[in-house]
Amino acid sequence: MEQLAEFDVAVIGAGHAGIEAAIASARRGCKTALFTISLDQIGNMPCNPSIGGSAKGHLVREIDALGGVMGEAGDACCIQMRMLNLSKGVSVHSPRAQEDRSAYHLYMKKKCEDTPNLFIIQNEVVDICMDENNCVTGIRTRHGGLFFCKAAVICSGTFLNGMVYIGKTGEQSGPDSCLPARYLSENLAKHKIELRRFKTGTPCRVHRRSIDFTKLQPQYGDPDPQPFSFLAERGSVRNDAVCYIANTNPQTHQIIRENLGESPLYSGVIHGVGPRYCPSIEDKVTRFSERERHQIFVEPTGLHTDEMYLQGFSTSLPEFVQIKMMRSVAGFEQIEIMRPAYAIEYDCINPNCLLHTLAFRGFHGLYAAGQFNGTSGYEEAAAQGLIAGINASAYALGEEELSLSRKSSYIGTLIDDLVTKGTQDPYRMMTARSEYRLSLRHSNADARLTGIGRQYRLISDERWAQFTAKTQRIEHAIETLKNTTVQPDAVAEYLEQIGTTPLKQGLKLDALLRRPQVQLHDITKILSLDLDLRGEEAAEVSCRIKYEQYIARQDQQNAHFEHLEHIRLPKEIDYLAVHGLSSEAVEKLGNVRPENLAHAARISGISPADISILMTYLKAGGYHD
Amino acid sequence: MNTIAAISTPDAAGGIAMIRISGEDAIRISDEIFTAANHVKVTEMRGYTCAYGTVSDGQEALDDVVLTVFRAPHSYTGEDTVEITCHGGIYLTKRILMTVYLHGAEPAAPGEFTKRAFLNGKLTLSQAESVMDLIQADSASALRVAQYAKEGRLGREMRGISDELVDLMSALAYWLDDAEECPPELERTTLTAKLNSIDTKLREMSARYQDGLVLRNGIRTVLLGKPNAGKSSVMNWLCGTNRSIVTDIAGTTRDVITEQVKIGEFTLLLSDTAGLRETDNTIESIGISQAYQALDQADLVLYVADANVGMTDEDTELLEKCAGHHTVLIWNKTDLSDAAPPEMPIPVVQIAAIYEKSTEQLAAVLKDLFGQSAGASGAIPLNERQNLLILRASEAVRSGIEAAESGNELDMMYADLEMAASYLREIEGEDVTDDVIDGVFSKFCVGK
């Protein structure tokens, strides 16, 4: 076997996780290799041609704030942008973009090519080499190549032992007819890494000319779209594509029910666990039989193609059923399928074998991110990729690694959920998963994370200067509102107009603004108050004030855990030797090996008494003060 | 560290009881509920000093107490500590403790005072293992109690309420999270109606906790009747001592006298009150207003009427004031008259209190009145920690209702519900977040 090259970090897979991992690692000064089975699949979107969406949009903004690339690419290749949930509270506003899928791939490929220190290599990785102490020493490729590296990041997506099913025919394949990764699994098993099977599915792609759009309801982008990146100007993204909504009907459902026997999911051919949030159309029809229709979103996959994606219509029924059920939908009578829908089954891990840094417990220099960790979605993958890339490079450089708290971000929440609880089905981010929802807004992702990105050398001087200036303007405006008193007369007319009670005496502006009906831009106009705010800053100031008391209460509610967060559990702790722990606690703590007491407290089956005993034990051992 | 409190004396009626409060807010909380006789503020008291005064729950004085202040680090736990020594009735002590909780203290976890003493360096390292033993032993018994509550009727009722809350949160979480399927707009009025129903159930539960207290800690009983109907003789009959002054001058008893007596299987917390009648005598009128106050909080009224005088209009009028309380008519002085008691829809006990020795007749009546609530219906064996969590959950639910009604965004309201859920979760020991997520997936057809 021949050594071909030497790297600091090797990233296996160039999907959304791998790209972030590789670029972050290279930018932080590590010589980084990015391995992919096909150069033509870098940053591919084998499922929906979109980035963002509820809670996922938050993740993209956080990735951007930390210095990742998904936000910038999403803006550059956007063809339609919308802010979702605008009619609801600000904490659930979330940006979503329709993407030009080919443009996105090319953008990401060029981005990687342009990154100094980053080397893209088309080759199938089959093994990770380790020494007797489980330290990563290199990786081996399919044709006997050996590459030395100090750290490796596995981002294998759905490629690992991929099996694609259309109807009952299954064949070894990666997504979009790519070659699957056929050898890495067995070698991971040799390293005692336990694998399991998950599955996911994607709907068919159809030809634009075969749809009667007059029967569908159009959906346009926002008039003044908000981009993902904090560096982009409002309105600067392309936004002219139109999406459409179609609906299934009882006849469609009847066809599906009659043909359930043809589905590999219902006939037991596929054993992998599918995502609960993204049920196939046969699941929807079976589980929600009372519903007379389900929506189908018809989305363009790019500017230079007529392929249309049908969101909400994923299925693994055979092609003849697919065409039959689709033609029962109003507007789809003449539908032409270009790529049939399929289900894909793949190997992944239960992520509770990872640390918060996304390193494997019991190994040195081995990291994992993305669907391989049991998640689903490009955004969830990219978020983990960024953290894994930062940490693999930190490990290679001998620097301190990063683990984000639940309070800091959805990324921190995502990773904590994964490593603490593991996951039973492909994990999708939702805002309901965070106990800090009110403080984790897409709009303040920069305030929460840019400082951390800066600390890890992913934020340029220019961007840092821009960020600090913005922060100062916001803080100053809030200060001004808290210190300015408004007299009853000045706003009497306005308050009457919006139907809220008049003031009896002078009131500080922040208190006035806390009234649900009162708007910041109205107040500044009436009082001729110049707060010197730009772009989104006024909205941010307004919601920080309006939500202040609620956020304070939420923080207070969660304060107990934060205190425990700071009490670290040493790696070498022998739980059997901790006097007084229940046997269930000894077993669970031994398996998960939590990093701190808050982490331990979140493990199911660990009681407050166990935490008390651990606290006493640590103190007795002199581990913390 | 947060501030914790617990009753540090055994959970039984005794001469005195002690409540210990430890943590950074111990002094602040004590100051809020305590008024010293010499008007010195607790915040100004030095360590190792004590003060005599009154503890109040903000509405009424609960007890005269002695309060001792320990300043960190010179206390058992090494933190600021306040010890409140009060009169030893269980019911009273628990009300004081509840007041301490409502002012911001948390119930102490098993072994927590000792654990803190250890963490703060007040105990030596060699004692660490015994601390862990203590935590383990305490929590094992706490666990048995919790397990009992969970499996019993309390558990089922709690589950019912928290399921309702989780259903509502799932619907709201789905609505907040899912933009693609365009779920129907949530009607605020429907939301608040459901929340009001949850809040009512929580409050009912807490109210029945009071019934539970009756069984465990005694039935709050007042003796009522016209002046000189023989209330004090009845009191003495019940207590078997010459506790009240018995004279034939109307209006002798001016204070509310409290006594704890065992009648059959029940414990009565007895207040003998001044005779209820309009009076010009100032001192006596104070006693009378106290009598009305005692009536308000009574679980049981023993109405004493003079058989020798018969039922008067005044008696009827006073009895009407007792509506809503379990009431027993004590037809007294049967030695002086053969007159039969009037026909009334309440149980009657006929005695000559000054000669009577047996309380069996009354015990049988009490069993009819309260025996049922000891069984399947009625009282719930909540402990004060559980009751506190229920009250806090109810408070959070009401805050959510307020948020929705005032036109605030529903993500704010969701934060209130999360808080309510987290209190209920503390009773059940289960993670509600996962239940909500499961609820979203099982009840709604999530789009993408």
Residue of A nearest to B412 (CA): A550
What residues of chain B, 396 to 435, have a C-beta less than 8 Å from chain A?
406-412, 414-415, 418-419, 422, 429, 431, 433-434
What residues of chain A, 71 to 110, have a C-beta less than 8 Å from chain B?
84-85, 88-92, 94, 96
Residue of B nearest to A559 (CA): B2
Give residue-wise pLDDT tens across range B418-428.
989 888 877 76
CB-based contact, A276 to chain B, within 8 Å: yes
Instruction: Out of A276, A312, A608, name the one closest to residue B441 (CB).
Output: A276
- How far is it, in rounded angstroms, from Cα A610 to Cα A293? 50
Task: List, in sequence order, the alpha helices (H) in A7-160.
Answer: 16-27, 56-66, 70-76, 101-114
pLDDT of residue B249: 42
Indicate which of A96, A441, A619, A624 best probes the interface with B, i.e. most B CBs within 10 Å of its own CB. Answer: A619
pLDDT greater than 80 at residue B183: no
Residues of B in contact with A53 (CB under 8 A): 179-180, 448
- How far is it, in rounded angstroms, from Cα A433 to Cα A68? 23
Cα A13–A16–A101 angle (5° rounding)?
Answer: 115
- The dihedral built from the CA positions of residue A371, A376, A382 and A388, taken in this order, carries a sign that is negative
Residues of A in contact with B138 (CB under 8 A): 609
B175/A88 touch (CB, cutoff 8 Å), yes or no: yes
Return the percentage of chain B with pLDDT > 90, whole number.
Answer: 23
Do A191 and A239 fall within a single domain?
A: no
Confidence band, pLDDT 50/70/90 cuts, at residue B177: confident
What is the full DSSP assignment across B10-53?
-SS--SEEEEEEESTTHHHHHHHHEEETT---GGGPPTTEEEEE
CB-based contact, A253 to chain B, within 8 Å: no
Q: Classify residue A486: in a domain, yes or no.
A: yes
Residues of B in contact with A287 (CB under 8 A): 445
Domain containing residue A103: CATH number: 3.50.50.60
Task: List, in sequence order, the alpha helices (H) in A242-318.
Answer: 250-258, 281-287
- How far is it, in rounded angstroms, from Cα A316 to Cα A175? 14
Instruction: Out of B178, B429, B437, name the one closest to residue A54 (CB).
Output: B178
> What average pLDDT does range B183-204 have in this prediction?
85
What is the full DSSP assignment across A228-248?
SSTTSPTT-S-----EEEEE-
- How far is it, in rounded angstroms, from Cα A47 to Cα A34? 22
Do A303 and A384 fall within a single domain?
A: no
Q: Classify residue A29: in a domain, yes or no.
A: yes
A550/B418 touch (CB, cutoff 8 Å), yes or no: no
Number of domains in chain A: 4
CB-based contact, A550 to chain B, within 8 Å: yes
Residues of B in contact with A85 (CB under 8 A): 176, 179
Do A190 and A274 fall within a single domain?
A: no
Do A183 and A225 fall within a single domain?
A: no
Q: Classify residue A560: in a domain, yes or no.
A: no
- How far is it, in rounded angstroms, from Cα A118 to Cα B260? 84
Confidence band, pLDDT 50/70/90 cuts, at residue B57: confident
| Domain C-terminal end among A455, A477, A506 | A455
- A221: containing domain: 205-345
Q: Are B271 and B223 in contact (CB under 8 A)?
A: yes
Q: Token digits for A219?
A: 């959906």
Considering only A616-620, B184-188, B441-445, which range has the smallest mean pLDDT?
Answer: B441-445
Confidence band, pLDDT 50/70/90 cuts, at residue B378: very low
Do A355 and A328 fall within a single domain?
A: no
Instruction: Out of B125, B139, B434, name the one closest to residue A609 (CB).
Output: B139
pLDDT of residue B430: 60
Instruction: Out of B115, B176, B446, name the one closest to residue A431 (CB).
Output: B176
pLDDT of residue A359: 98
Do A160 and A16 fall within a single domain?
A: yes
Q: Are B66 and B15 in contact (CB under 8 A)?
A: no
Q: Classify residue A559: in a domain, yes or no.
A: no
Give residue-wise pLDDT tens across range A169-211.
899 999 999 999 999 999 999 999 999 999 998 999 999 999 9
Give residue-wise pLDDT tens across range A585-607.
888 898 888 888 988 988 877 87
CB-based contact, A431 to chain B, within 8 Å: yes
> What average pLDDT does range B343-372 have in this prediction?
82
CA–CA min distance A500, chain B (Å): 10
Q: Are A446 and A65 in contact (CB under 8 A)?
A: yes
**Burial of B210 (C-beta count, 10 Å sphere; 0-12/13-18/19+):** middle
pLDDT of residue B400: 93
Do A360 and A432 fall within a single domain?
A: yes
- How far is it, in rounded angstroms, from Cα A613 to Cα B71? 26
CA–CA min distance B411, chain A (Å): 5
Do A12 and A125 fall within a single domain?
A: yes
Beta bridge partners of A298: A244, A310
User: How remote is the C-alpha of A358 from its chain's centroid?
Assistant: 14
Do A52 and A178 fall within a single domain?
A: yes
Residues of A in contact with B176 (CB under 8 A): 85, 88-89, 92, 431-432
Are β-strands B4-7 and B106-107 bridged in parallel, bridged antiparallel, or unpaired?
parallel
pLDDT of residue B443: 66
Q: Classify residue A625: in a domain, yes or no.
A: no
CB-based contact, B187 to chain A, within 8 Å: no
B446/A276 touch (CB, cutoff 8 Å), yes or no: yes
pLDDT of residue A401: 98
Confidence band, pLDDT 50/70/90 cuts, at residue B213: low
Which position has the token pair 């055994």?
Answer: B10
Q: Classify residue A278: in a domain, yes or no.
A: yes
What residues of chain B, 110 to 169, have a C-beta less than 8 Å from chain A?
110-112, 115, 118-119, 125, 128-129, 131-133, 135-136, 138-139, 142-143
Confidence band, pLDDT 50/70/90 cuts, at residue B180: low
A48/B431 touch (CB, cutoff 8 Å), yes or no: no
Average model confidence (pLDDT) across chain B? 78
Q: A416 by DSSP, 3-state: which?
A: helix
Residues of A in contact with B182 (CB under 8 A): 295
- Residue A61 is classified by DSSP as H
Q: Are A341 and A314 in contact (CB under 8 A)?
A: yes
Residues of chain A with pLDDT under 50: 623-625
| Candidate ranges A416-430, B291-305, B313-327; pick with highest mean pLDDT | A416-430
User: How remote is the C-alpha of B65 from its chain's centroid?
Assistant: 18
pLDDT of residue A209: 97
Give residue-wise pLDDT tens across range B222-233.
888 887 888 878
Q: Classify residue A561: in a domain, yes or no.
A: no
CA–CA min distance B139, chain A (Å): 6
Domain containing residue A231: CATH number: 2.40.30.260
- How far is it, in rounded angstroms, from Cα B105 to Cα B98? 9
Domain containing residue A603: CATH number: 1.10.150.570
Do A446 and A527 fall within a single domain?
A: no
CA–CA min distance A276, chain B (Å): 6
| Domain C-terminal end among A303, A321, A345 | A345
Residues of A in contact with B436 (CB under 8 A): 432
Give residue-wise pLDDT tens across range A430-487.
998 999 999 999 999 999 999 999 999 999 999 999 999 999 999 999 999 999 999 9
- How far is it, in rounded angstroms, from Cα A519 to Cα A509? 11
User: Strand ranges (DSSP E) for A445-583?
Assistant: 485-486, 507-508
Could you tell me which of A603, A514, A228 has the C-alpha nearest to residue B407? A514
Do A158 and A49 fall within a single domain?
A: yes
**Burial of A143 (C-beta count, 10 Å sphere; 0-12/13-18/19+):** exposed
Cα dist from A610 to A568, B48, B120, whole Å: 15, 34, 19
B128/A612 touch (CB, cutoff 8 Å), yes or no: no
H or E stretch at B175: helix B153-177
Confidence band, pLDDT 50/70/90 cuts, at residue B241: low
CB-based contact, A294 to chain B, within 8 Å: yes
Q: A358 by DSSP, 3-state: which?
A: coil
Residues of A in contact with B446 (CB under 8 A): 276-279
Read off the pTM: 0.81
pLDDT greater than 90 at residue B407: no
Residue of A nearest to B134 (CA): A580
Could you tell me which of A447, A444, A380 has the C-alpha nearest to residue A412? A380
Could you tell me which of A418, A396, A397 has the C-alpha nearest to residue A406? A418
Indicate which of A202, A296, A557, A616 best probes the interface with B, i.e. most B CBs within 10 Å of its own CB. Answer: A616
| Domain C-terminal end among A554, A581, A607 | A554
B445/A612 touch (CB, cutoff 8 Å), yes or no: no
What domains can be seen in chain B, in order of their start residue?
A: 4-108 (3.30.1360.120), 149-211+381-443 (1.20.120.430), 220-356 (3.40.50.300)
Beta bridge partners of A125: A141
CA–CA min distance B151, chain A (Å): 18
Domain containing residue A508: CATH number: 1.10.10.1800
pLDDT of residue B140: 64
A95: Cβ contacts below 8 Å, ≥ 6 apart: A52, A57, A60, A61, A81, A82, A83, A84, A226, A227, A228, A442
> What average pLDDT does range B165-169 have in this prediction?
90
pLDDT of residue B149: 57
Do A300 and A330 fall within a single domain?
A: yes
Which position has the token pair 């840019």?
Answer: A450
pLDDT of residue B262: 75
